[in-house]
Structures are given as structure tokens and as C-alpha cells.
Amino acid sequence: MPRLSLHEICGYRSGDKGDTANAALFADDAEIYDVILREVTAERVQAHFGDMIDGEVIRYEVPNVLALNFTLPNALGGGASDSLRSDILGKTIGGSLVRMEIDVPDSVAAKRRAPPDVSWADEILGGRRSQ
């Protein structure tokens, strides 16, 4: 079974309420949703973030939009003005979550999203390297 990062098969969104962050995964189709439903458990998300979260991760299933939503209590070091963390609003939590790797069937691996085309940046970065 191939192993893929979630970003290769899902979209995401994240944010916060106080000291609780949330991250939602959005599957592209029902087959992918079934895979993330099986593979992306609250326990695995808890382990993925480790000591960064000081509370129990809760998973909500939202099948009508092929999504999973996770709440991560005590994940922001107090949240907003109380936190000394660089991400006080939980905006990067989703980006971190989609780095999690899961095993997927070949049929899902065949649907993997193409990496974004960032060739436009080569000229910009190339110009900086020569200075």
C-alpha cells in the first residue's frame, strides 16, 4: 500500500477559538473520505502533534461535505494575546496536520494531487542567488 501525505489527497482549513485550535480535512471524493475516516483518528492526530497539545483531540465526522473536523484543546499556549507561540491563532495547525502520512490503496494514490507549479519563483530566487 502506498504511503502519502494528507496534502496529496485532501484540502484543509484551520483556525481557533481562544486556546482551542481546530483543523478540518476535506476529501476530494467519497473513496478518499472513507480512507481518511479509517486512517486519521483522533489518537493519530494527538500523536502527530505530541506535546504541543495539552488536551484530548476530538474528531467530528461531517460526511455531507466529506470532511473531518478536529478540535485541539489547549493547543495555542493560552491563545491570542496570552500566548508566546509564533502561531497564536492556529492558522498553521492545518498545514502541519496535512503533513501526516497515511497508507492508502492504489486507487487513491492514483488520484494524488499534482504538486503546485512554482516555476515562476525560479526567476525571482535565481536573481537573488546571483547577488
Give this prediction's pTM: 0.80
Position 131 confidence tier, pLDDT thresholds 50, 70, 90: very low
Residue 22, Cβ neighbours under 10 Å: how many? 20
Q: What is the mean pLDDT of residues 46-58?
A: 88
Q: How far apart are CA 89 and CA 92, in angstroms?
A: 8
Position 89 confidence tier, pLDDT thresholds 50, 70, 90: low
Return the higher-pLDDT residue of 130 and 104. Answer: 104
Return the higher-pLDDT residue of 94 and 87. Answer: 94
Task: Give residue 86's pLDDT.
Answer: 46
Task: Give residue 95's pLDDT.
Answer: 86
**For residue 84, pLDDT beyond 50:** no
Q: How far apart are CA 77 and CA 95, in angstroms?
A: 18
Return the higher-pLDDT residue of 70 and 81. Answer: 70
pLDDT > 90: what percent of the chain? 52
Q: What is the mean pLDDT of residues 91-104?
A: 89
